[in-house]
Amino acid sequence: MDSLNTAKTRYTTKAYDASKKIPKEQFEKLLEILRFSPSSVNIQPWHFLIAETDEAKQRIAAGLTGSYAYNAAKVLNCSHTLVFCTRTDISNEYLEQLLEQDDVSGRFKDEAAKQGQKDTRSGYVEFYRNELKNLSAWMENQTYIALGQLLFAAALEHIDATPMEGFDRNIINQEFGLAEKGLKASVIVALGYRSENDFNAKLPKSRLANDVIFTRL
């Protein structure tokens, strides 16, 4: 499937076939694609919770009650569920971890290049923390870039997906002890295969026209 056709045919799945599971090798491929998601200054401020068992999905579904109950069946019936988490802060220790990984990966020709990367990355963090005062939003923006990468990759692999922001963040954060780990839940993604009863699969896509969203300079 080519990229344009993929963009035109993928959609947000509303109902899953609980009997169908993503093959392990294919799911691991999606995780590797997710790991290679781009982010500003390669800050990678994310962490992903992976639910493959019914028990794990039930824990996520605990945050899908009340006004969010409409999303529970998607999590319970899909093949796999991911909780996209975002760091609540960027510490000097984490910046050092990133820098050392860059070094191990062979990205620096010399110490000057390494110092340059250190200064650039820490400069971005301090800019968003102290000048724009929206470090949290900047970090979460990166997590949503990873979300986009996963959704498109899943579609290329003929795997259906549902991104969900309708969930009780307090319950999810508490259920998995995220605050203690310096994390917060940002978005939940169900992955699997559509049910024959998924009404959304039969509806045409609706997008604004080119002249509304594009301005050629």
List the one residue out of 51, 40, 66, 91 whose CA is nearest residue 192.
51
Query: Catalytic residue among 14, 57, 140, 184, which?
Result: 14
Instruction: Say if CB 134 and CB 86 are below 8 A apart.
Output: no
Question: What is the C-alpha to C-alpha distance for residues 137 and 143, in angstroms, rounded to an integer?
Answer: 10
Is residue 57 annotated as part of the catalytic site, yes or no? no
Q: Which of 57, 74, 157, 184 is catalytic?
A: 74
In the chain, the N- to C-terminal Cα span, in Å, equals 32
d(CA 187, CA 169): 9
CA 190 vs. chain centroid, Å, equals 11
Is 165 considered catalytic here? yes
By residue count, the chain amounts to 217
Nearest to 30 by CA among 14, 54, 5, 52: 52
Which of these is catalytic: 28, 96, 100, 165? 165
181 has catalytic annotation: no
Residues known to be catalytic: 14, 74, 165
